[in-house]
Chains A and B, each alone.
Chain A
Amino acid sequence: MAPISGPDTTQRSYLWQDGTVRSWLLTTDHKRIALLYMASITAFFVLGSVGAALIRLHLISPTGAILSDATYSRMFTMHGIVMVWLFLVPSIPVTLGNFLVPLMLGAKDLAFPRLNLISWYLFIMAGALVVYGLFRGGLETGWTFYTPLSTDYTQGRVLPVVAGVFLSGFSSIATGVNFIISIHQLRAPGLTWYRLPLMLWALYATSVIFVLATPVLSITLLLLAFEHFFHVGVFDPALGGDPLLFQHLFWFYSHPAVYIMILPGMGVVSEVVSTFCHKPVFGYRFVAWSSISIAAIGFLVWGHHMFVAGTSLYAAVVFSMLSFLVSVPSAIKVFNWLGTMHGGAIRLDAPMLYAMGFIGLFTVGGLTGLFLASLASDVHLTQTYFVVAHFHYIMVGGMVSAYFAGLHYWWPKITGRMYPEMWGRTAAALLFFGFNLTFFPQFILGYEGMPRRYATYPAQFQVLNVLSSAGASILALAYILPLIYFTWSLFRGAPATDNPWQATGLEWRTSSPPPVENFITPPVVTHEAYDYAALDHPDTAQRAEAPHV
C-alpha cells in the first residue's frame, strides 16, 4: 500500500495550484471550501470567546464586575448563538468533514460541488446577519429564543439574528444533503459500508440530523419572526396560543442538534484512538451503528428540556425514559474506545491526548445528563449552573477537544506541514486542566442552587466563581497557543510525509497536501477498515488478498 502519488505532485497540490483570491472565492474544490470554512469559523470562535471572557470576568464579583445587567444578558446570548450556530455546528462536520469526506471515500469531490460553495456563501451571509444584529443592539433572549420574550417583550434585534440563524440552517441542510448523497454514491470500488472509516458513519448520522431536524428550526424561526414582525399570535397566550409549542418545535431541532455537536467528535475520536493504538477499533459494527442509533433516538427525547415548563406529566415521563435510552449507544462508544486502547501500544501524540481528554470529559457530561433526565432531580437542577456545566462538558470538553484532536491529526494532510509536537501536547494538557477548573466548580454551584443567566449572585458563591474564571483564563491560553503554532507551522513546520501517523484511511494514501483531483490514480479498496496488518506488511497482505481481487 505504498503512496500512490509521485514526488512531483506537490507542485499541483490544491493549495498552490492557483493562488488568486478569485480562485479561492469561486472554488468548487471541497478542500479549499473546507479551508474557507476553517477561516470563517475561527473568526467566529474568537468572537464567541471574547463574549465568554467578558462573562467570566463579570462574574468575578457577586454584584457583577463590568457589565450592566442588560449588557450581561446580551453578552451570554451573543456567546451562545455564535458558538452554537457559527462555530460548533459547522466545526467538525462542515470544516473537517468537507475536507475529509471525498478523500475518505476515494472520490474526486463531493456529489454536488457547486452546492457546497453555495452553502459556504449562505453561511457567511448568515454570520454577517447575526453579527450585525448582535452589534447593533444585540438580543437578550438567550440562544433559545423563547417566546413570548422574543416576540412581544424583547428590546433587541430579533429579526437580523433570527434571519441569520435561519440562513445558516440552509447552509447546514445543503451540506447534509451533499454528505449523504456522496457517501451513498461516491464510494471507491471495494469500499463497502462496513469498510468505511467510522468518521464517515458519524458524519452520515450527523447529516441525517442536518437534513431532517434543521428544517424544523427554519419553520420555527419563521413563525417567530412572523409573530414578532406582524404582531399576530402564533404562540401568543393572550389568544390561547401555546408558548410551549414553540419550545417543542425549537427542541425538536435543538436536541438532535446537540448531537450534531457531538457525533462528529465521536467520529474523530474513533479515528485517532485507532491510529495511535495502531489497532482496529474494537467492535467496529457496534460503533458504526451506535452513531446511527444516536441520531435516531436523539429525535425522541427533546421534551427533557421542558420538564418544569408546564408540559404534561405523561409526556414528561415518556421523554424521561427515552432520554435514558439515548445514553446506551453513547456508552457503547466509550466502552469500545476503551476496549481499543486496552492492551494497545498507545502513542501519546497531541491528537491522542486531545482524544483521551474527550473521552473523560464526554463521560462526565453524559453521566450528568442522566441526572437531568430524571424527573425528580431535574426539578432541583434545571436552570442552574449544573445544566451549564453539563452541556459545556459535552460541547466544549467533548466537541472542542475533538475538533482540536482532528485539527492536529489531519493538519499534516491539510497543509503538508507538521505542527510542533511538544507545543501540541502542552496545549492539550492545558485545555484539559483549564477546562476542568472552569466548569467543574459550576456543577457544585448549580447543585447548591446558583441559577443561570443572572448578572449577579449571592456572595457565598464567589469562591467557586473566581475559580471558574481563573480556569477560563487558562482555557483561553490553551486556545491561543494552537492559533500561534499552527500559523507558525504553515511557514516553518517540517514538511509532512504522506502518512505521518501510520494510519489506514484512504486520505493517507495520497500526498500531503493532496493534489487537486485528490488521487492521481483512483484508489481501489481491498482491505477492511483499520487493517494495520496490511499497512505494516503490504506484501504478505497483498498475497493473502489476491484471490479476492
Chain B
Amino acid sequence: MSEHPEPYDSPQHRDETAIAGMWLFLASEILLFGGLFLIFVVYSHSHAAGWALGVRHTSLVIGGINTVLLLTSSMVYILGVEAARNGNARGIIQAGLGAAALGMTFLCLKGWEWHTEFGEHLFPGPGFAIGGPQAGGAQLFYSFYFLSTALHGLHMLVGIGLIAWVCLRTYRGRGRLLQVMPVEVVGLYWSFVDLVWILLFPVLYLIGRV
C-alpha cells in the first residue's frame, strides 16, 4: 500500500480524532437501534395485551444472568483500559480475555435460550405456539425479540473480535511503546453494546411481565 501522509499534527491529535470518530459512529448506532425501539414503542401500545403475553414467555432467569454477565464484562474491560493508561500490557490482555470470555458466555446462554424457544415453537410463523385472540401481538413481539437479540448478538461478536484484536496487537507489541487509544476506542464500543442491552433487557423481559 502506498503510504499516504498522515493528516494529524501530533499523536495526541490523532488519538483525540479517533475517539471523537468512535463517538460519532456510536451516535449513528443509536439511530440503528432506534428504529427497533420505534417498533417497540408502537406495537407495545397498539397490541399491549399480545405483546405482554409474549414478554411473559421469555426466560427471565437467563436474561437476568446475561445482564449481570455483560455488566461485569464491561467493567472488566474498563479495568483493562485503566491498565493501558498505566502502561501495563499484561493488564490489558488479562482484562481483554476476561471480558471476551464473559461475552462468549453471554452468547452461549443466549444461544441456549434461542434453542429452547425454537423448541417451544416461539419463533413466529405457521406453527407459532401462542394462540387465541392475542396471537398476532405475541408474534409481533417475538419477531422483535429475535431480530433485536440477533442484532445485539452480532454487535457482541464484532466486539469480541475487536477485543481479540486489541489483545493480539498488545501481545505482539510487547516491549514497544504501548498505544492506549485502540484499547480505549474498543472499550467505548464494548460499553455501548452493554448499554444497548441494558435498554433491551427491560423491553424483552420485564415491561408487561406482571
Contacts and interface: CB of A to CB of B under 8 A. Distances in A.
Complex A–B touching at CB under 8 A: yes
B27 A211 contact: yes
A517 interface: yes
A249 B38 contact: yes
Contact of A232 (B7, B46, B139): B139
B20 A216 contact: no
B4 A181 contact: no
A212 interface: yes
Interface stretch (B28-36, B66-74, B170-178): B28-36
A178 B39 CA distance: 30
A503 to B, nearest CB: 23
A140 interface: no
B88 interface: no
Contacts of A487: none
Contact of A233 (B31, B35, B143, B151): B143
Nearest to A186: B7
Given A181-B20, A211-B28, A249-B38, A29 B147 contact: no
The interface residues of chain B, by DSSP majority, are classed as helix
A234 interface: yes
A357 B16 CA distance: 43
A134 interface: no
Interface string A202-240: 000000000111111011101100110011111000111
Given A181-B17, A184-B20, A216-B34, A109 B140 contact: no
A471 interface: no
Contacts of A181: 17, 20-21, 24
Nearest to A28: B4
A190 to B, nearest CB: 14
A259 to B, nearest CB: 16
Q: Which of B17, B25, B35, B43 has the most CB of A within 10 A?
A: B35
A177 B27 CA distance: 10
Contacts of A109: 4-7
Contact of A220 (B3, B21, B30, B35): B35
Given A215-B31, A216-B32, A242-B46, A111 B21 contact: yes
B42 interface: yes
B143 to A, nearest CB: 5
B42 A214 contact: no
B125 interface: yes
A75 to B, nearest CB: 30
A126 B31 CA distance: 21
Nearest to A24: B2
Contact of B24 (A107, A180, A186, A216): A180
A113 interface: yes
Contacts, number: 141
B123 interface: yes
A516 interface: yes
Contacts of A240: 46-47, 50, 136-137, 140
B38 A185 contact: no
Contacts of B21: 111-112, 177-178, 181
Contacts of B142: 232
Contacts of B103: none
A241 interface: yes
A107 B143 contact: no
A223 B27 contact: no
A185 B13 contact: yes
Report, as a range, how many residues of chain B touch the other chain.
35 or more
Interface in B116-131: 123-125
Contacts of B35: 215-216, 218-220, 223, 249, 252
B46 A218 contact: no
A111 B19 CA distance: 12
Nearest to A30: B4
A121 to B, nearest CB: 13
A240 B3 CA distance: 56
B210 interface: no
B5 A215 contact: no
B39 A177 contact: no
A483 B43 CA distance: 51
Nearest to A17: B2
Given A232-B125, A239-B140, A185 B17 contact: yes
Contacts of A42: none
A238 B143 CA distance: 14
A27 B3 CA distance: 8
A104 B32 CA distance: 31
B7 A234 contact: no
A516 B20 contact: no
Given A18-B2, A213-B31, A110 B38 contact: no
A248 interface: yes
A234 B28 contact: no
Contact of B1 (A26, A178, A185, A218): A26
A111 B17 contact: yes
B143 A177 contact: no
Given A216-B32, A227-B143, A239-B136, A177 B25 contact: yes
Contacts of A23: 2
Interface string B147-170: 100010000000000000000000
Nearest to A213: B31
Nearest to B35: A219
A173 interface: yes
Nearest to B146: A232
A245 interface: yes
Contacts of A215: 28-32, 34-35
B36 A29 contact: no
A303 interface: no
A329 interface: no
Given A177-B24, A177-B28, A185-B16, A516 B147 contact: no
A-B pairs, 6 with minimum CB distance: A219-B35, A215-B32, A232-B124, A240-B136, A239-B136, A215-B31
Given A222-B151, A232-B123, 12 more contacts: A108-B4, A113-B4, A177-B24, A178-B21, A185-B13, A211-B27, A219-B35, A220-B35, A232-B146, A233-B140, A240-B46, A245-B39
27 contacts: A28-B4, A109-B5, A112-B18, A173-B28, A177-B24, A180-B24, A185-B17, A185-B20, A211-B28, A213-B31, A215-B28, A215-B29, A215-B32, A216-B32, A218-B32, A219-B35, A222-B147, A223-B39, A226-B143, A232-B143, A234-B140, A238-B136, A240-B50, A240-B136, A240-B137, A245-B39, A249-B35
